[in-house]
Every structure is written in C-alpha cells, then in structure tokens.
Structure 1
Amino acid sequence: MRIFTKYSKAFIGIALVAATTFAVSCSSSRTGSSKSKKVLVFTKIGVDNNGRKAYAHASRIPGAIAIMKLGTENNFVADTTSDAGKFTPENLKQYAAVILVSTTGAHIFDDAQKAAFTSFIQHGGGYVGIHAASDGEYDWQWYGKMVGAYFKAHPMGTPTATIDVVDRTSAATKMLPARWERKDEWYAFRAMPQDVHVLLKLDESSAAPEVYGRSPQAKMGADHPLAWWHDYDGGRAFYTALGHTDASFQEPLFLQHLLAGIEYAMGRKKM
C-alpha cells in the first residue's frame, strides 16, 4: 500500500476501503461548488475468453483516487464505482463525462447499459479511456470506434522508452517535452485508430533491444500511437494508453495530460 502514502489521510482511508472491497462504490469528492460538473469514474473488470475474471490492474484504485483529487483541485466532482448498474439513462444525466480506468474484459455492460451509454454520448456526453479501457468489449463495435483502437499486445514488464509528442499544441500535450521518457506498459493495437487526432507516439527504437526482441508481436513500427482524441457520435472521446503503473498517478506530467483529456470530455476545454 506504499502508493497511498503520498496522498492525504482522507484519500488513504478511501484507498483502504477500496482495496478491501475491490471497488470504490459511488464515493464523491464533495468539495466542489454546487455548479461543479460531475464525472463518473468506472473501474469494473469483465471476464476473459474462458469466462474467468479478466486481469485486474491494481492501478485502477490509485487512478480513481487521483481523479477525485483532480476534481477537488479543478472544480469537478468525481463519483467512482465498479457497478455497471449505474449506467442508466436517468443516472448518467447528471454527468458530463464517464472515465473508464483499465476496464479489462468482456461483458462489462449488458444490453440495457450499452444502450444507456450510447445515448449518453449521442446526447453530448464525454468519454475518457485510460490504459486497459482499450482491452475489452471486443464484440461491441460502437465502443471500439469510440475508444479508437483495440489492444493487441505489450512487451513484458514496464520498460523505459521515449514518447514522441506529435501534436505539441493540444491542451493535453502542451505541457509535455517534445521527447518524453518514462516507464509504462507499452500497448500495441490491433489496427491503427481511424478518424482521430493522434497526440503521442511511441519511439520503439528508444527501448532497450531486448524489449521488443522478446516481444515482436507488440511492435507497430514507426507509427505507434499512444494517445488521441476525436469528436464521436455526438459526444467527445479521449484515450491514453498510459497509466498501467500506480506511479503514473503521481506523475505531474501524466496527471496534467489526463486532466486536459477529462476537461475536453466534459466540454470545458478544446483540444
């Protein structure tokens, strides 16, 4: 639990409860004003191809806590849950955006929840996908188009590599260096995202030779996107493949990158 030592005691308490129940159920950052916008942070894990629980990223919990903290600092309220039953037309009306934090696996939503989510976006809602939000709901074409691309593979571990910031004018990248070195789990995708504005690309050659030597299936070559945004089906969608590690949610640059994506999804900020 060392990851939580850098948070306030209040957030540590929330984290301990979340770790015990393996869900953060509808806790809210309540310090925002009555005019604050709200977001729904969603952390459910689905099932794998064998019907067993899919891989659960531990970073979902510090991710949810970090977004709540961003809310208190930037005048929005973050409700967090792993209950897909919150995806109803009536409940989603209160939110400006939904944020899926590494929601891996299939059958995360039932048909009624999918319909509510679709309607939410079509009526101007926003979506933010973090890391493994691209690793699920492979049979739901509408969702795949909203995310932009589906996960294919990654190298072992969290090796150091360098990101090329290909759009340095975006609200989600203008704070970043042109070449951004960090550690993460470097996702490759089944296909290139279509009709999106790519913000970040991975320089695969910057990783140690053994990284892709051991995992050639995780290579995409010179054009390896990692983050993008697009207006989608009446709403707004932002995806970043970063955020596998707990430490990501303590990195000031990553949090600023994520915050800009959230504010775009809420309709507050243009990209």
Structure 2
Amino acid sequence: MTRMIARLAGASALCMVLAGLPVQAQEPEQYTTFERYGVCGSIDESCYNPWNNRTEGEEEPWKVLIYYHVAPGVNPHDNLEAGVEALTALFEGEGYEVTASNDPATFESAGNIRSMDTIVFFSTGREALTDLGKHQLMLYMRGGGGFVGIHNAFGTSYSWNWYEGLLGGQLFNHGPRQQGTVIVQSENDPSVAHIEEGTFFTEEEWYNIYPDPRKLSDINILLTVDEATMTQGQSDTHPGMGEGHPVSWCHYYDGGRAWMTVLGHSHDILEDDNFLQHVLAGVDGTMGKGDFCLQ
C-alpha cells in the first residue's frame, strides 16, 4: 500500500513538472500577413498605397533598378553577371531606363530609390542591405513601390522579418539541380498567360521555401512545379513541398506590389522566352504599367 501511494505521488509530481513545460503550438493551416508579420497584405488593392503613382500621361521613361549584391564570403551564382546583362537588355528593349547596381549605398539615398518604378533583386546573397538601406526599402514599398524577387533573392536577409514577409517565405534548401514540369495556377495573370498549354519543362534548383507561402491566405500562387517529374528527388534534410510546390507568386505588401519567382538559376533559362516574358510581365505589373496579381 505504501509503495502504491509513493508511485501515485511520483506520477502526480511528474504531471506537475510536465504541466509546467511549454507546449509547442500547432501552426495554423492558414494565416494572414498581418497575423504573421504585422503589416497589411492582400491579393487586391486594399493593401496598396497609391502614393508613388505616375500622373496620367507622364512621358518620363519607366525606371527599373536591378540589384545584385552578394555579401562578402558568399559565392555568387554562376549566371549572376549574365543574368544582369540579360535582364538589362530585356527591360531596355521595352524602352525602360535601367540602373544595375551591386552597391548597398544605392539604397541609402531616399531620392534615388523613390525615383524607381520597380526594384528587382536578382540572386542577391545573404546581407544585401545596410540598416539604412533596409529602412529606405521599407519606406519605398509603403509609398506604393514595386518589388520583384528572382531566385536567390530568397537567400537574402534571413534575420529581417519584414523582408521574409515581403517574399512570403525564404529559401530553406533545395535538392539536386534537375528538370521539372512547371504548371500555371493563375491563368489570368499576365506573368503566366503567355505559357502555352499551361505548362513548360525546365531545369532548375527547385527551392523549398519556409515558411510555406501557401499558408498565407493573402498570396496568389502563379506557378507550381510537379514534384513527380523531379526524378532525382529532394534534399536529405527536407521532404519537399509536396503537391503544388510553389514556384512563383504575388501579393500587395505593406503598401506596395511584390512579385516573386524562384526560377533563374542557370545560364540556359536566361534564353528561355517562358522565363523572360514571365519576369517582364511581373515587372510591368509591379510598376503599374500592366495588370498585377490576377487570379
């Protein structure tokens, strides 16, 4: 009887100890940008501030900044310089005024940044901005600016929560570079409307993004990749993102327009019209020249 009482007392004490331990919260199936990042996010203009709009009939050329800074000690992508050249030619072919820079000081002038209709982060790497530059980018977006993130823009500024929200998630890792079938999800959006029959096949580093952008209720998924067509499988440390693995998406974020694609790793894709027109229409939408983020 004494032993039984002792066991019961021990079990009771254990329960009290366990009750005092923190319980891991169950992550919700979906949440809003405001719930996770504390700023307004939407797939319509309810979170857009039209303070940076051009006046009707304005004849100034559209201005695009291509930013490609990679932090010291980080290996840049092999196609970085070629990609900057290809994007510059693409935008200049549309008559846009293009500035390409890998200098963080570019973002430290408010007037310089605010003169841009859209800012493109092309395969930036790790800490790409100074604290002042981060502040200026936030102010730019809050005034109705445009942002396009391409490929390793997802591998940038991991310690900056606002930037993670801008992207909708960041690079966790990726499996082997391999071919996969890309599938259109929002056929009405101009950045994917050109893709014939709604699919194309390309080789890429298929990024696993965390947090999963699909959990944000106010993000519009534009493209996915069919993981069943990725014959080399995933990495050893991530099971993949499953059905509907996101590749490109868009949203209104903290006053501005933001459009993202994980595509852009190889030299070959810089000559792929599916990719080039995808990016061009994304830029047009974020700057307000074309329709943006249609479902």
Q: 1:200 to 1:43 in 2, by over 3 A?
A: same
**What is the number of residues matched between the two proteins?**
230
1:126 corresponds, among 129, 146, 151, to 146
Letter in 2 for 1:211: G
* Structure 1 residue 67: Cα displacement: 1.7
Partner of 1:199: 222
Aligned to 1:230: 251
Q: What is the deviation of 1:72?
A: 2.1
State the Cα deviation string for residues 135-165 of structure 1 (Å, max 9, x = none): 1111111111111111111112x21111111
8 Å Cα contact 1:150-1:189 kept in structure 2:
yes
Query: RMSD between aligned alpha carbons?
Result: 1.6
Residue in 2 aligned with 1:172? 191
Q: Deviations over 1:194-218 (max 9, x none)?
A: 221100111100121x333x64615
* CA-to-aligned-CA distance 1:231-254 (integer Å, 9 cap, x gap): 111111000000000111111111
- 3-state DSSP class of the match of 2:238? helix
- Show the counterpart of 2:262: 241
> Is the contact between residue 101 and residue 133 of structure 1 (CA under 8 Å) also seen in structure 2?
yes
Q: 1:43: which partner in 2?
A: 68
Equivalent residue letter for 1:183: E
Q: Deviations over 1:50-89 (max 9, x none)?
A: xxx1231122212211221122221211100000101021
What is the letter of the counterpart of residue 182 of structure 2?
I
> Per-residue deviation at 1:191?
1.8
Contact 1:154/1:215 (<8 A) preserved: no
Give the unaligned 5+ runs of structure 2.
1-57
Query: 1:5 matched to which residue of 2?
Result: none
Task: Indicate whether 1:211 and 2:211 are aligned.
Answer: no
Q: Distance in 2 between the 1:206 and 1:71 partners?
A: 32
Q: Identity of aligned pairs, percent?
A: 28
Give the residue type in structure 1 aligned to 2:144.
G
Runs of at least 5 residues in structure 1 that lack an aligned partner in the other structure: 1-32, 48-52
* Secondary structure in 2 matching 1:137: coil
**What is the CA–CA distance in structure 2 between the aligned matches of 1:97 and 1:218, rounded to whole Å?**
35
Aligned to 2:101: 81
Distance 1:191 1:92 in 2: 28
Q: From 40, 47, 54, give the equivalent of 2:74.
A: 54
Letter in 1 for 2:222: L
Name the residue aligned to 2:8: none
Work out which of the residue numbers 142, 159, 168 in structure 1 matches 2:178: 159
Moved over 3 A (4+): none
Q: Is residue 155–residue 218 contact of structure 1 (8 Å, CA) maintained in 2?
A: no
CA contact (8 A) 2:91 2:280 kept: no
CA distance in 2, matches of 1:228, 1:43: 21
Q: TM-score, normalised by structure 2?
A: 0.75
Q: Which aligned pairs between 1:83-98 and structure 2 lie closer than 5 A? A: 83-87=103-107, 88-98=109-119
SS at match of 1:183: strand
Partner of 1:9: none
